[in-house]
Amino acid sequence: MRDHFRKKYQLSKSSKDTSHLSAAQGKVALPRQLAKLIGPETPAKDDGYSLLSAFQGLNFNMGMLGGKQTKSSTPMSVNGEACKGIQGMCVSVRQAACVRIQRGMCVCPAGTVAGLGVEGVNPARGGPAERGGGRGLRRFEEIPHTGSSGWLNLVKFWREDRFKLLHKHMERTFNTLGPIYRERLGTQSTVNILLPSDISELFRSEGLHPRRMTLQPWATHRETRQHSKGVFLKNGAEWRADRLLLNREVMMAPAVRRFLPLLDEVARDFCCQLATRVEKDGGKEERGHSLTIDPSPDLFRFALEASCHVLYGERIGLFSTSPSQESQKFIFAVERMLATTPPLLYLPPRLLWRLGAPLWTQHATAWDIIFSHAEKRIQRGVQRLRSTQAAGGGSGGAEGEFTGILGQLMDKGQLSLELIRANITELMAGGVDTTAVPLQFALYELGRNPAVQEQVRVQVKAAWARAGGDAHKALQGAPLLKGLVKETLRLYPVGITVQRYPVRDIIIQNYHIPAGTCVQACLYPLGRSRDVFQDPERFDPGRWGTQESGEGPGGGGGFRSLAFGFGARQCVGRRIAENEMQLLLMHVSEGGMEVDREGDEKAK
């Protein structure tokens, strides 16, 4: 290869020849693409100009073009400034592109090109001197890591059962290796970060079509069962087109005002039923009746009832004394699907499918139950809507009655029924665990912190009185409810990472990260880091009230609360989940119920 380029560019065959350019009337032919990279102002033709003239303002030792790098007593000059401590090659060009030229040399944004250990370079924003305290830009391979073999790491995870406490593993690793590290697990390779300033840099490079890690087990299930994929599993222009249509029905303010009364109805019924249960089964105490329960099953039923009411525009009766076995089976399937997902992320799911591996069988069976349950609901909703349309009422129901997101999507007719099925099923499956679990932790923290509970109750009662029973106005008048949800998700995030594949090379913690690398923000260590939050173990919903008061020196503006993701690719059901949780907590407080906890066991 070296001989080929010597011949093509008329270089000397002697590695000791420092001139390295054969006499060819002072000119060397270059391919058009390389010529344009080196000098955009150069005439667009393959020959007829001087190679050296393309490197304007650059003086360098011609020996570097040979097989070995040679040391020079004269420091290399970049636009008239010397580069000191060079290991490799440091060049300054005017292109804004970021291109890897050869080992140890990288052309970076804003024209800085650096190799290993470069010092003294005057970089642009985010460059080595600013981000790394004067240290040189470091290679991707130098990022601290947990081991080079993904399969050995995976075996350790299985043997030590780390998948159940993956968030704790991340926290320990950050404490050991610092604010950035690489990890290989089976077929997956990621760069993990936690500081808001670094997360901000990551999201600035996500591009028009942000990508996150594909949940391959879910995608394989859709492919093997021949189901269409919803926006959660799509990428590129196809994802964007579907997502923009869904946003109008689930994310925009008018859509929230349409479905908020449905969520409020379910939250009121749940709290009324709970109050009745306490009065009936609770023991008599000085301040009233008291009942000790495990709230988890009730909260899962509430989450499913609320999400179905919003999606289909009808109640499914989970608050009755004998809820249907079908719904209970659906909840169990969601739990099983979520439990089997993490280990399958690091294994080839198609191979497991062909082998009939028990883990894959459990996962696929759980999804089959979820799809079967959703399909029955969707078919019932479609028949009801078509009957309404046939009667001349339109899909909006009588007098503009909101008939659920399913009805809105069908009425618009911009998505095929198959794509509507795929997205409604994903919203239904994702709308149970992601609200039931945070609600349980919110009640737990309110029980642990009576003073916080009293602050929330006082604010909610005042807001409720001013709103005159209007749930939307009441939520706006009680910002502590929003802070309560954010603080709960800070300490107990449901999804422990948010991933992106940057579309351009970026620099994080002074390490070069190539475009296309899977970089993930780790939410559990982020929420408990003393570099980001003051007194992070303290449960304080008020810290979110005024410009994130109490924040630590981590920088990064608003990149401290990422439980629902960020930007165009944030959770599509975010507005449903946020309002669902706030409404339930509002009615618990407004109804005069007091939450206490039994025992002193600390949540993990």
Annotated binding-site positions: 571
Pairing of strands 519-522, 511-513: unpaired
- Packed helices 417-430 and 358-390: angle between N→C axes, nearest 10 degrees: 120
Nearest-angstrom CA–CA distance, 545 and 122:
39
- Packed helices 574-590 and 450-467: angle between N→C axes, nearest 10 degrees: 100
| Alpha helices per DSSP H over 282-324 | 296-312
Confirm if 530 and 195 have CB atoms less than 8 A apart.
Answer: no
Distance from the first to the final alpha carbon of the chain: 57
CA angle 597, 601, 604 (to 5 degrees): 110
If you search the block for the tokens 């991707």, which residue do you land on?
140
Amino acid at 200: S
Query: Which residues share a beta bridge with 522?
Result: 497
> What phi and psi, each to the nearest 5 degrees, are found at residue 32?
-60, -40
Q: Where are the beta strands (DSSP E) in 220-323?
A: 283-285, 288-290
Which residues participate in the annotated binding site for heme? 571
b or e along 5-22 (b: 16 or more beta carbons within 10 Å of the residue's beta carbon)?
A: ebeebbbbeebeeeebbe
Interacting residues of 151 by C-beta distance below 8 A, sequence separation 6+: 186
Question: 3-class DSSP state for residue 492?
Answer: coil
Pairing of strands 112-115, 91-92: antiparallel
Nearest-angstrom CA–CA distance, 135 and 377:
59
- The DSSP-derived string for 518-567 is -EEEEHHHHHT-TTTBSSTTS--GGGGSSSSTTB-TT--TTTT--TT--G
Confirm if 478 and 461 have CB atoms less than 8 A apart.
Answer: no
If you search the block for the tokens 């499913």, which residue do you land on?
304
| Closest listed residue to residue 483, CA positions, set 437, 522, 445, 535 | 445
- The full length of the chain comes to 604
> What phi and psi, each to the nearest 5 degrees, are found at residue 252?
-70, 155
Nearest-angstrom CA–CA distance, 250 and 263:
13
> What phi and psi, each to the nearest 5 degrees, are found at residue 512?
-80, 125
Cβ neighbours of 108 (radius 10 Å) = 25
Query: Which residues share a beta bridge with 284?
Result: 289
If you search the block for the tokens 């830009």, which residue do you land on?
137
Q: Extract the tokens encoding 271.
A: 């709290």
Query: Which residues share a beta bridge with 513?
Result: 506
Question: 3-class DSSP state for residue 32?
Answer: helix
Question: 3-class DSSP state for residue 91?
Answer: strand
If you search the block for the tokens 């028009």, which residue do you land on?
208
CA angle 27, 31, 32 (to 5 degrees): 105
58 DSSP 8-state letter: E
> What phi and psi, each to the nearest 5 degrees, are found at residue 501?
-110, 100
| Closest listed residue to residue 564, CA positions, set 577, 582, 579 | 577
